Every structure is written in structure tokens, then in C-alpha cells.
Structure 1
């Protein structure tokens, strides 16, 4: 199934909507800024928190922790210096390790487990909104795969912002 993640570029507190391919809104990502860490809350249309994404402070690698019902579900880390191979390390709560492969700069990548593609993420640019599609091939893991796609996107976006401020 295809899901669309639409960022509101001019929103006051940065939010994104996750919709089905038929434009039915499912989840909203609220990005709140804190001094030492950043927290994202993924809520459904009724306002119930479905997942929390916390950027861990004081780590060597850019690390995000994903929690559902207060329990850690996944941990995703961006490797600082990597010339070849995976740039992201993903470990799920059930012990599985996922790979993120593809053109990360252009947001065209796959999330894989043991060579099997679980989701394909494709970036699309619109005139006012920034959007990308997450094609989920494993419906049982749909929510966590969407959250991982959002994490990778925001990590890359933050890295680009850091490079622009260092110029």
C-alpha cells in the first residue's frame, strides 16, 4: 500500500500529515523543539499518540529512539563517516536489523531486511508542499516502516541544514 507524507513547509511548529494514496489522513507528525533533544509525536486523527520519536542527546552518531506505548520499538542511527555501505543502522525491538539502501540525498531509498524490500521511499517536490511516498510491501510492519521513513527524512534534512549553516 502507498502512503504519502506531506510536510507543511510554512507551518509554525513544523508538522507533517501521513495519508493513504486516496488522500485519507491517518497520522500527524508534530515536531517539537527542545534544547537538548528533539521529540516527534506521531498521533492519529483522533489525537491519540501512536508513536514517539526521540532524538537522543549527547551521542556520537545521530540516534533516534522510536517508542510505542512507552516501550522502545526501534533505534535508528546515522553513521558519521561511512564511504561505502549502509549509512543508517536500524535495530527493531524484536531483534531484527534493517538496512536503508539507495540514494539518500535525493530521498530515493529502500528499507530492507535480509535482502527483502519491506518499503520503498520516493521523494516528490510540489510547488508549496514537500512530499514523499512510502510504498509499504509488508503491511504487518506498516506503521514502523512509515516512522522509519520519517526518521531518515528528518535526519537527512537536519544534516543538510547543518551543512548550509556551516557555509
Structure 2
């Protein structure tokens, strides 16, 4: 089992941060686009090659995010129309998220088998997440999924604060 850690910088305008391993070595570099439409987050490996791309759909009634790995769309996260609490769906072939993914405490299953788990670390400056990876070939997709869910949450928070 492998563990990765995401610690986002609170005041980063573009959304730059790294994903580290257990030895605190940078494994992935994440950079959000700044003042660009559509909003994207690029995930690069240690050789600075893009391994995943998260894109927010520009013109849609409800916020929608696409996750691509190996130049293929792998996951779609879409907000559902509800009156009370924000609700999102995650669509991916063979993937299922169980647990409280809105609070970032969940497991990711592929065809019924647990391939990863995510836990938000509380009482930290900025958002910090621990990702446990049980199936290493799914590592990039799991990292991208966590970042995409966090993007959806940030988008919801920004929309909520703007509507007051």
C-alpha cells in the first residue's frame, strides 16, 4: 500500500501545489489555470510530463468537471439540481465512491474492490488530504479524483458566498 499527501496553499491565486509521498518527496505537481476559460488543473509527474487534466465545463446549467488521464476522459463530476444541500454525482466506468466524499472521507472501489481511500486531515492551514493507494496502477486517477472533488467543493463554496 502506498500513501500520498496533498497540502494546498491557502492563498495561491493559480492553485499551485504538490503531492508528496511518505518521505515528503514531491511526486506530482498540480497547477490551476489563472484567468483562463475553461478553468483547468494540470497534474504533472516528477519529470514534468502531464499525466492528468481536470477541466471545468464552461457553459453548463450545473457545474461539471471532467478528469482525463492518458488523454481519455475517465471521470465526470456533476452537480445535481437540489434545493437544500449540494449534491454531486461521480460517473466513471467501474468506479464507485463510498463514504462521505463531500467531507473528503471516502473509499474508491473498482468493480467492488477497494483501490484507494481518502481522509481529510483536520486542524491544518489549508486543505490537507491523505490518499491510501491499494492498487498502484490507479494512482494517477485517484490523485486526479481527489483534486477534482476538491475543485467542485471550492466552486460550490465560491458560488454560495457570492449568492449572499
Q: Same fold (TM over 0.5)?
A: yes
Structure 1 equivalent of residue 108 of structure 2: 111
Q: 1:139 to 1:127 in 2, by over 3 A?
A: closer
Q: Distance in 1 between matches of 2:16 and 2:91?
A: 24
Larger relative contact order (Cα-Cα within 8 Å, sequence gap ≥ 6): 2
Match in the other structure for 1:67: 68
What are the residue-to-residue correspondences of 1:12-51 with 2, within 5 Å? 12-34=13-35, 36-51=37-52
Where do 5+ consecutive residues of structure 1 fail to align? none
Q: What does the per-residue CA deviation read over 1:26-77, in whole Å, with 9 as the maximum and x for residues that have no partner?
A: 11110113454211111123322222221121124432223345x2241312
Judge conservation of contact 2:77–2:149 (CA < 8 Å) in 1. Answer: no
Mean alpha-carbon deviation: is it higher for 11-20 or for 144-153?
A: 11-20
Q: Which residue of 1 aligns with 2:76?
A: 76
TM-score normalised by the chain length of structure 2? 0.84
Q: Is the 8 A contact 1:88 1:99 kept in 2?
A: no
Q: What RMSD over aligned residues (CA atoms) do the two structures have, in Å?
A: 2.3
Secondary structure in 2 aligned to 1:163? helix
